[in-house]
Amino acid sequence: MSKSSIGAIDWLSILFFLFLLAFGWVNIYSTTYNPDTPAFFDLAQYSGKQFLWIGASLALIIVIISTDTRFFERFSSIIYLASLLLLVGLFPFGKTISGATSWYSIGSFTLQPSEFAKIGTALALSKYISDIQTDLKNLKSLGYIALIIAIPALLILAQPDAGSAMIFAAFLFPLHREGLTGYILFILFTIASLFILTLLFGVNWVVGSLFILGIIIYYFLKKQRGILLFLLGGFAAMSAYCYSVDFVFHNVFKQHHRDRFNIVLGKTKDTRGIGYNTNQSEIAIGNGRWFGKGWTEGSQTQGNFVPEQHTDYIFSAAGEEWGFIGSLAFIIAFLGLCLRVLHLAERQKSQFSRVYGYGVVSILFFHFLINIGMVIGLLPTVGIPLPFLSYGGSSLWAFTILLFVFLKMDADRNKR
């Protein structure tokens, strides 16, 4: 059983995966490089530890490939419940690091259950959607789906770890693929745009523009029945929303939240305080030019100017030392993996593995979107890791399991 799977497994995905692992390790090595003690496999250093995590994840891959594919579908509910339990358990037993209670501490190791919760949620969601009785047009089904996603997300938000919780929005993509009405996406998109526009231009301008927009639409569509009522209702809802965004932003958000938004929206220029990370990261990347400064030669990276460079800001080291060409190779590999897995998902015969495949891609892509966006200064500072590259055992293992469970399903797609 397991032997035949190895032959059918998608080697292109594995190639991308191995490249990303290697690229990640090389950059972790550089961010913690010390020319006086250039040890490659020193377990006291991040690069040495990461080597250990990589070895362990390879072991995990073998375990996954030897496991019967049906196990993941049958036990999806159990896995989901177990991951919820782990999340709940954090509240009494978790370890608090920099304000968030997100880790179990076992000896000198720490484990971050929120990373594994993504796998459980993806499995449970796939299982529920592929159930014959589930209908995405049915409000009750939608309610269950919302619960499956929201329970872990809210538990993580309570840690508090807003960044990891945000990732659960990625499940909108598999839902949309399986037939969730476009209106919901449209409404979510409108909500997000209004949010940003309100912060950027001020609530009164946005509401004023909406009013003018409404008049224009009415002028062209006044023949339509009930259009006036529809527009008035829409306008009322939107302006209420805008005013509440304004209120929440100024009265509920803490100053450091506001700062993060303002920096990304370009409303404040701050290179010393909260904007320091982004600024240093941009300098490091800009320093790379076409071909980069060379491995362990980046002045920003070697001077440790970018905080958290071996974890969330790992891409800034890559950008500085490998340049535009290196960044291009990374983006091609990462998005290539996403597109490849997407392609594999589309060829699945069972709905379960298709939804799961979509979930894998969405989660990987969301991490990429938010992490890289933050490092290159396009999105607000949100602390989430870059899959396969950032230092950390929990995230590496979680992403490895997430990916290889799907690759195993794909390898066995013709068996059932």
Partner 1 sequence: MRRYLLHIIIILVGLIYLGRLFYLQIYDTSYTNLSRNNAVKTVFEYPQRGNIFDRNGKLLVSNQPSYDVMVIPRELKPFDTLEFCSLLGITKEKLKKQLKRARNYSTRLQYVVVPQLSKEEYAFLQEKMHKYEGFYIQKRSLRSYKTKCAANVLGFITEVNNRILRKDDYYHSGDLIGKQGVEEQYEKELRGSKGVRYYQKDRFNREIGPYREGKLDTLAVKGKDIKLSIDIELQEYGEELMIGKRGGIIALEPKTGEVLALVTAPSYAPELLVGRKRSANFTKMHYDSINNPMYDRGLLAEYPPGSPFKTLNALIALQEGVINTKQRFSCSNGYYYGVRGRKMGCHPHASPLSLEYATAVSCNSYFAQTYRKIVEKEATPQDGIDNWRRHLRSFGLGGFLGYDLPIGRPGKIPTSKYYDAIYPSKRWKGITTLSNAIGQGEVLCTPIQLANMTAAIANRGYFYTPHVVKGIDNEYNKNPRYTQRKQTTIDSIHFEPVINGMRKVFTQGTAAFLQIPGIPICGKTGTAENFTKIDGKRTQLTDHSIFIAFAPKDDPQIALAVFVENGYWGARYAGRIASLMIEKYIRRSITATHLENWVLNHSLEEEYAKPLSGLPFTINN
Q: Which residues bind partner 1 (CB under 8 A)?
A: 35, 173, 176-177, 179, 280, 282-290, 297, 299-300, 302-305, 319, 323-324, 327-328, 331, 335, 338-339, 342, 346, 358, 361-362, 365, 368-369, 372-373, 376-378
Do 399 and 118 contact (CB within 8 A), yes or no? no
User: How many CA atoms lie less than 13 Å away from 248 in the CB half-sphere?
Assistant: 10
Residue type, position 219, single letter: Y
Which residues, 6 or more positions from 268, have their beta carbon under 8 angstroms from its beta carbon? Answer: 259, 262, 275
In the complex with partner 1, which residue's Cβ is closer, 143 or 179?
A: 179
Distances from the Cα of 319 to the Cα of 76, 336, 374, angstroms: 39, 19, 13
Comparing CB distances to partner 1, the nearer of 94 and 288 is 288
**Amino acid symbol at 211:** F
By C-beta, is 57 or 302 nearer to partner 1? 302
* Complex with partner 1: residue 161 or 321, whichever CB lies closer: 321
Choose between 74 and 349: whose C-beta lies nearer to partner 1.
349
Question: Cα(227)–Cα(13) distance, rounded to whole angstroms?
Answer: 50
Helices (H), 248-298: 255-264, 276-286
Minimum Å gap between C-beta 251 and partner 1 is: 33
Return the number of other C-beta atoms located less than 10 Å from residue 289's C-beta: 12
CB of 179 to partner 1, least distance (A): 7
Cβ at position 309, least distance to partner 1 in Å: 11
Nearer to partner 1, 16 or 397 (CB): 16
Positive/negative CA dihedral, 217, 218, 220, 224: positive
Give least dist CB 405 to partner 1, A.
19
Nearest distance from residue 123's CB to partner 1, in Å? 19
Please identify, using beta-carbon distances, which residue of 114 and 302 lies nearer to partner 1. 302
Query: Minimum distance from CB of 335 to partner 1 (Å)?
Result: 5
Which residue number, 288 or 380, has a Cβ lying nearer to partner 1?
288
- Shortest distance, CB of residue 174 to partner 1, whole angstroms? 9
Q: Which of 234, 152, 159 shows the shortest CA–CA distance to 191? A: 234
Q: Is 42 exposed, middle or buried (0-12, 13-18, 19+ CB in 10 A)?
A: middle
**Are the CB atoms for 396 and 388 separated by under 8 Å?**
yes
Mapped onto helix, strand or coil, the DSSP state of residue 97 is: strand
Query: Rounded to the nearest whole angstrom, what is the least distance from the CB of residue 12 to partner 1 in the complex?
Result: 16
CA 218 to chain centre: 40
Question: What residue has token string 């535009």?
Answer: 324
Show Cβ contacts of residue 64 under 8 Å, excluding neighbours closer than 6 positions: 401, 404, 405, 408
Coil, strand or helix at 110:
strand
Q: Tokens at residue 289, please?
A: 């030019």
Work out how close the CB of 341 gets to partner 1 at its nearest, in angstroms, rounded to a whole number: 10
Q: Tell me if 282 sits within 8 A of 376, measured CB to CB.
A: yes
**Least distance from C-beta 172 to partner 1, angstroms?**
10
Residue with tokens 């091609």: 332
Q: Which is nearer to partner 1, 151 or 345 (CB)?
A: 345
Would you call 151 helix, strand, or coil by DSSP? helix
Q: Toward partner 1, which CB reaches closer, 213 or 283? A: 283
Length of the chain: 416
Is 48 or 373 the residue whose CB approaches partner 1 more closely? 373
Q: What is the DSSP string of 323-388?
A: HHHHHHHHHHHHHHHHHHHHHHHHT-SSHHHHHHHHHHHHHHHHHHHHHHHHHTTSS-----PPTT
DSSP code at position 388: T
- Kindly state the smallest distance separating residue 138's Cβ from partner 1, in Å: 18
